[in-house]
Amino acid sequence: MRTQVVIIGGGPSGLLLSQLLHLAGIESVVLERQSREHVLSRIRAGVLEQGMADLLRQAQAGDRMDREGFIHDGTQLELSGVGCRIDFRKLTGRAVIVYGQTELTRDLYDARDRLGGRVLHDVQDVTLHGLDGDAPYVSYRVGDTRQRLACDFVAGCDGFHGVSRQSIPHALRREYHRVYPFAWLGVLSQTPPVSAELIYVAHDRGFALCSMRNAKLSRYYVQCDPADAVEQWPDERFWEELKRRIPEAAADRIVTGPALEKSITQCRSFVAEPMQWGRLFLAGDAAHIVPPTGAKGLNLAASDIHYLATGLRQYYQDRDFSGLERYSERALARVWQAERFSWWMSTLLHRFPEHDAFDRRMQRAEQEQLIRSDTAQRLLAENYVGLRY
Ligand code: APR
Ligand code: PHB
């Protein structure tokens, strides 16, 4: 069998790329290890930059986001007991859309179905071949049947634990990694959001975040020990800890309820360079990971896909390789800015167990500068709403 682009991974990155290529008349096949149900069972972040929202509309998958997503003109910070609102609209003229990644992924699957896109599930033993030549191919297994798919290019959209990044010779890869001394315990509850905007909290007991999915579905997080297990956090303990960290007025009005989903996310920063090798191009979590503090994971995947889809369109329409040749350089320039911002927001808002008295004073000074400086708030706002592609 043959196609033009083989896409490894049927998460947001792979599905978005497949849809954009289809609309440009470029054939692709998505190879996904899990079932569709499994992919759609994942609960992930829910803040979309303007660029992501525009790409979804371009992919003919933005209608429900436009109907059901919440436009947020700002966010609340509670910095060691002092409230501070970051007004995105005033500081940047732009906003973000709060819309769950699960719903976005569902919309992309529906869009692929409408166009008859080829997304193969339960695909095992994906192996990439001939990447450094002009006739790459991918082998894989479905059940007991082994298949081979020839192509022009391979897009590695298979996440942090995927096979694509490992297919670049180790000697050619440079990897940058920071594991943080904390994790995020997240709870999804069928309760009305405690606030119309997100509340990011820096507290002596640790970070907390009040977010949402819709008017009846809330998403809350508390910083926890990376070694914690979900079993150590029964609902009652979670709600009690969250109330101790969030502003008193919010704690007084919050509606609690049973956790529909409860999970612990480790926090790390990771970048693999380069994001391409021969006919292989990495995008999304396959190439980089950010701590969830700045809500950049999905939005970085979007800008990667924008650059990669642009390069592939240039190749197939004009046999012009220049976009593909510059893909890694262009994507990494934006990746590192998002990595910096996510690292900075994480250091601003979390309690670091190993911090000494001086470290804590530096963190407090950073918070105080943000509270009093329009310039500091503008810098946060520009990064949060998303740097231009
Ligand atoms: N073969 C086929 N599919 C694979 C393989 C493999 N060897 N390894 C992983 N996959 C699939 C996973 O099952 C997953 O569905 O690749 C997909 C990768 O999806 P994500 O991990 O969601 O990564 P991405 O599409 O880049 O989306 C990034 O997802 O993890 C969040 O925070 C992240 O919001 C960001 C977004
Ligand atoms: C979420 O709603 O899950 C969310 C929002 C903002 C973040 C992280 C997660 O920074």
**pLDDT tens-digit profile of 65-114?**
999 999 999 999 999 999 999 999 999 999 999 999 999 999 999 999 99
292 is catalytic: yes
316 is catalytic: no
pLDDT of residue 24: 98
pLDDT of residue 44: 86
Atom of ligand 1 nearest to the CA of 140: 1
Mean pLDDT of the chain: 97
Counted domains in the chain: 2
My answer on whether 44 and 127 are in the same domain is yes
CATH code of 168's domain: 3.50.50.60
My answer on whether 225 and 300 are in the same domain is no
pLDDT of residue 54: 97
Domain assignment of residue 188, yes or no: yes
My answer on whether 173 and 183 are in the same domain is no
My answer on whether 262 and 274 are in the same domain is no
Domain assignment of residue 323, yes or no: yes
Domain range enclosing 364: 179-267+351-385
Q: Distance from the CA of 199 to the center of ligand 2, in angstroms?
A: 10
My answer on whether 225 and 113 are in the same domain is no
Q: Distance from the CA of 235 to the center of ligand 1, in angstroms?
A: 29
Task: Give yes or no for residue 147 having a pLDDT over 90.
Answer: yes
Q: Distance from the CA of 133 to the center of ligand 2, in angstroms?
A: 41
The pLDDT confidence band at residue 43, using thresholds 50, 70 and 90, is confident
Task: Give yes or no for residue 193 having a pLDDT over 90.
Answer: yes
Q: Distance from the CA of 208 to the center of ligand 2, in angstroms?
A: 11
Domain assignment of residue 78, yes or no: no
The pLDDT confidence band at residue 235, using thresholds 50, 70 and 90, is very high
Pick from 44, 47, 261, 299 the residue to mutate for probing ligand 2's pocket: most ligand atoms within 8 Å of its CB: 47
Domain assignment of residue 237, yes or no: yes
Pick from 41, 48, 103, 285 the residue to mutate for probing ligand 1's pocket: most ligand atoms within 8 Å of its CB: 285
My answer on whether 326 and 340 are in the same domain is yes
The per-residue pLDDT for range 250-282, each reduced to its tens digit, is 999 999 999 999 999 999 999 999 999 999 999
pLDDT of residue 101: 94
My answer on whether 54 and 113 are in the same domain is yes
Domain assignment of residue 50, yes or no: yes
pLDDT of residue 45: 85
Domain assignment of residue 81, yes or no: no
22 is catalytic: no
Task: Give yes or no for residue 186 having a pLDDT over 90.
Answer: yes
My answer on whether 150 and 214 are in the same domain is no
Q: Residues with Cβ within 6 A of ligand 1? A: 8-14, 31-34, 39, 44-45, 101, 123, 126, 157-159, 161-163, 284-285, 297-298, 301
Domain assignment of residue 80, yes or no: no
My answer on whether 51 and 186 are in the same domain is no
Which of 247, 292, 316, 327 is flagged as catalytic? 292
| Beta-carbon contacts of residue 241 (< 8 Å; ≥ 6 apart) | 205, 222
CATH code of 208's domain: 3.30.9.10
290 ligand 2 Cβ < 6 A: no
My answer on whether 172 and 315 are in the same domain is yes
The per-residue pLDDT for range 113-126, each reduced to its tens digit, is 999 999 999 999 99
Domain assignment of residue 77, yes or no: no
Q: Distance from the CA of 74 to the center of ligand 2, in angstroms?
A: 14
- Residue pair 245/152 in contact by the 8 Å Cβ criterion: no
296 is catalytic: yes
| Beta-carbon contacts of residue 280 (< 8 Å; ≥ 6 apart) | 128, 131, 136, 153, 154, 155, 156, 164, 167, 168
Which of 137, 180, 200, 307 is flagged as catalytic? 200
My answer on whether 262 and 302 are in the same domain is no
The pLDDT confidence band at residue 52, using thresholds 50, 70 and 90, is very high
pLDDT of residue 94: 97
The structure tokens 């599905």 sit at 15
Atom of ligand 1 nearest to the CA of 162: 8
My answer on whether 163 and 130 are in the same domain is yes
Atom of ligand 2 nearest to the CA of 294: 10
